[in-house]
Structure 1
Amino acid sequence: MQMVHSKPFGTYSNDDVIFLLKDISEKMYETSTMDKEELIQSGKHYSEMLPMEFEPSEEYKNFFLASLHAYKEKIAGAVQIIAEQILRQKGKKTLLVSLARAGTPIGILVKRYIFAKYQISLPHYSISIIRGRGIDENAIRYLSMNYPDYDFQFIDGWTGKGAIKLELDKSIHKINHNDQTNISDSLAVLADPGHCANIYGTREDFLIPNACLNATVSGLISRTVLNRELLNKHDFHGAKFYQELYEHDVSNYYVDEISKQFDSILGQEISPSKMAEPNWKGLREVHTIQKRFKIEDMNLIKPGVGETTRVLLRRLPWKILVRDIMDKNVSHILLLANERKVPIEEYQEMSYSCCGIIKQVK
């Protein structure tokens, strides 16, 4: 099994997170949005290629900064809720395992909050999970070997329709069965509009700002890759380090700005609220959307503010569904959709604030 690389990988401090990813920066080339969409929809798995990553425009930088300013206190409050729940449920010997890449900054914030409040420094690693391919089993086994008496706590940013949670459950069940282990598949997220996470800060569907940018808010790390032409069976999943985007990196600025909000909430007494059991309400609503709009592939439906934002910024959108056009959580969605001339349709039969539907290009 691959050892953790010693050379710098990503722009986060090792005190915040250690990536269990193989650096494939020199081997991996990006695919344009249109080519990527055609390849995915013709059967090539999205994890075998990388989308183009550009220097963010001033417009997107300003959009990110505005959303960070608007939501940083709310995010800090959600971090507090999930951090307190993790400690209450798991205790001091908890291994924080964030799902690269949207989960990484959230894992950093949870680690920082717990240290600020309790002076407990929990180990935090970031590993790959890929829809349709599963979690990085080499990374899980590395962690099990090095932290045999720790309880795993997986962390992500938000839930959409729950595809990653399903993948996590299936992967951990398989590993536990094969290795005779008892790893927990508990997932903590800031926002759980899909009603499928075990620990959540809120089930309100609001924008978590790291959905607005790509590598430049994720430690300059690409989306994770599982391409057997580049990786052998003993490797961790791969990722690219975009060092050329260093001057545009806001990864540490993002977690620092939210961490600054902790001072005002550390003294608050949190009465631990009971986490409602996952009921997968969001997935049922997505099935309804699929039937109503006659969409062949459910993977083209991306519910929730975070996923809809990504559809508008990174994919080829066909239509945007909005539950209430007056909802402040979707004001940026309306703006982006209008700029890209993407049709907006009011659709009230969902718990999500909005839903992005990708154009079928086959």
Structure 2
Amino acid sequence: MSLTENKIGSYSEKDVIFLLKDLKQANLEGRTEEREAVIQSGIHYSESLPKEKLPSQSYLSLFHESLAASKREAARLVSILSERILNQRGKNIVLVSLARAGTPVGILIKRYIAIKYGIELPHYSVSIIRGRGIDANAIKYICSMHPLSDIQFIDGWTGKGAIQRELTRSVDSLNDECNLGLKDSLAVLCDPGDCAALYGTKKDFFLPSSCLNATVSGLISRTVLNQQYISSDDFHGAKYYREWMEHDLSIYFIDEISSQFPEIIHSHPRNEIGLSKELDEPGWKGIQDVLKIQKEFKIDDTNLIKPGIGETTRVLLRRMPWKILIGERGNESLNHILMLAEERKVPVEYYEGMSYACCGIIQSVKGV
């Protein structure tokens, strides 16, 4: 397997090491409409990239307002999740975040544990792709570098649970092949899909990093697995958008939330941070809601249904949305959703009773 020749991503390597091949020369981006048609025709989404653009000034202002309003709660949820990880998995662990939504959360967990306990845990970010699995080369590399440590996988949030199922399949396969003793434990900041082993909250919390793309994720694109550019010995790939350095908010976002940690640590004993109640076993309620939506709206493929704030944001930023379902009126966490929907002229409907605050539905190229 080959390591990237140069550092990739705008984060310090003290925060995270990306195990990704930089595809800076690859021609992967396409127009949204063309890419949607290709994906729905059966070409895997990981073989191309959406064309990213910098956010408008009004949308950027909304990001800053949202971050100011939510950073205290985000920090509290990070503290809960971090304590639960240490309680369940111990301190001899390697943090492995799933690129790219999991990367900021992994960095925040690493920083919280360092501030409170003085422990500098190793932290890597690797690719996992629905339908193709986790990057086996990256996991084997981590295990070779840390043979006596356990891996804790980290992501930002859950949707339908597809990534948890993919992680379980990948872990089972790697354990069978290499006898690595991996666990498929996934830690997420919010688990509205009700499918993760470790979580900060079951509520559909708005993490402001979900409303931007590369400029809050270390200037990294979403990950790519295309045999034209990725050999069997390579890590999965991604693009590093160095040209956007002056617009990068990745470290700013981390610093704003982690600045809240000292007060949280001082104000709350450990037993009040994540250890005050038993963790609920995954009930997979989210997928039940998705199947209900699929039936009511007569949608052929559940892959066109993207539940939760994070996934709905992704639909509006890089897919062809058909409509947006909103769980309740007046939810200020959805202001950016409503702004994007208005900009793209996507209809919004109110749909009560789901586990999620909102749900994005992708337009079928065959007509929904």
**Smaller-chain TM-score bracket:** over 0.9
| Residue matched to 2:259 | 260
Q: Comparing 117-126 with 340-349, which one deviates more in the overlay?
A: 340-349
SS in 2 for 1:69: helix
Structure 1 residue 48 and structure 2 residue 52: aligned?
Answer: no
Aligned pair partner of 2:332 in 328, 335, 339: 328
For the pair 1:294 / 2:298, whether they are aligned, the reply is: yes
Show structure 1 runs of 4+ deviating over 3 A: none
Deviations 1:321-353 (CA, angstroms, capped at 9, x unpaired): 112123333333233323322212221131111
Query: Once the two structures are superposed, what CA deviation does each residue of 1:184-212 show, in whole Å capped at 9, x if it has no partner?
Result: 11111111000011111111112111111
| Structure 1 range deviating more: 336-345 or 245-254 | 336-345
DSSP 3-state at the match of 1:265: helix
The match for 1:312 is: 316
CA shift at 1:313, angstroms?
A: 2.2
User: Is the partner of 1:120 in helix, strand or coil?
Assistant: coil
* Cα displacement (A) at 1:172: 0.5
* Aligned CA distance change for structure 1 residues 55 and 344 (closer, same or farther; 3 Å): closer
Which residue type is aligned with residue 94 of structure 1? I
2:109 counterpart SS class: helix
Q: Which runs of 5+ in 1 are unaligned?
A: none
Matching of residues 91-240 of structure 1 within 5 Å:
91-240=90-239
Of all paired residues, the percent bearing the same amino acid is: 58
Q: Please list the CA deviations of residues 43-96 of structure 1 after superposition, one character each: whole Å capped at 9, or x if unmatched.
A: 111100011012222122112111111111111001000111111111121110
Question: Which residue matches 1:346?
Answer: 350
Q: Give a deviation string over 1:140-193, Cα, whole Å, max 9, x none.
A: 111111111111100000111111111101110111111122101111111100
Partner of 2:66: 67
- Matched letter for residue 116 of structure 2: K
Task: Tell me the equivalent position of 2:75.
Answer: 76
Distance in 1 (CA, whole Å) between partners of 2:336 and 2:180 is 45
Q: Deviations over 1:276-327 (max 9, x none)?
A: 1111100111011111111111111000111112212222111111121233
C-alpha distance in 1, partners of 2:262/2:17?
25
State how far apart, in whole Å, the 1-side matches of 2:88 and 2:342 are. 44
SS in 2 for 1:195: coil
- Residue 283 of structure 1 corresponds to 287
Report the aligned-residue RMSD: 1.2
Moved more, 24-33 or 124-133: 24-33
In 2, are the aligned partners of 1:56 and 1:248 still within 8 Å (CA)? no
Contact in 1 for aligned 2:59/2:336 (Cα 8 Å): no
* TM-aligned CA deviation for residue 219 of structure 1: 0.5
**What are the ranges of 5 or more consecutive residues in structure 2 without an aligned counterpart?**
none
Return the letter of the residue paired with 1:329.
S
Please give the secondary structure, in 2, of the residue aligned with 1:200: strand
Contact 1:49 1:225 in 2 (8 A): yes
Whether the 8 Å CA contact 1:165–1:197 is kept in 2: the answer is yes
Mapped partners of 1:232, 1:27: distance in 2 = 14
Deviation at 1:39, TM superposition (A): 0.7
Give aligned pairs, total: 361
**Amino acid aligned to 1:237:** H
Deviations 1:85-121 (A, max 9, x none): 1111111211100000000010000000000000000
1:6 to partner: Cα distance: 5.1
Deviation at 1:132, TM superposition (A): 0.8
Q: Determine the structure 2 residue equivalent to 1:85.
A: 84
Contact 1:28 1:240 in 2 (8 A): no
Matched, 1:269 2:269: yes
SS in 1 for 2:337: helix
Does structure 1 conserve the Cα–Cα contact (< 8 Å) formed by 2:327 and 2:354? yes
Amino acid at match of 1:228: Q
Q: Secondary structure at the residue paired with 2:174?
A: helix
Q: 1:42 to 1:6 in 2, by over 3 A?
A: closer
Distance 2:117 2:338 in 1: 42
What residue in structure 2 maps to residue 5 of structure 1?
Answer: 4
Query: Which residue identity lines up with residue 307 of structure 2 in the other structure?
Result: P
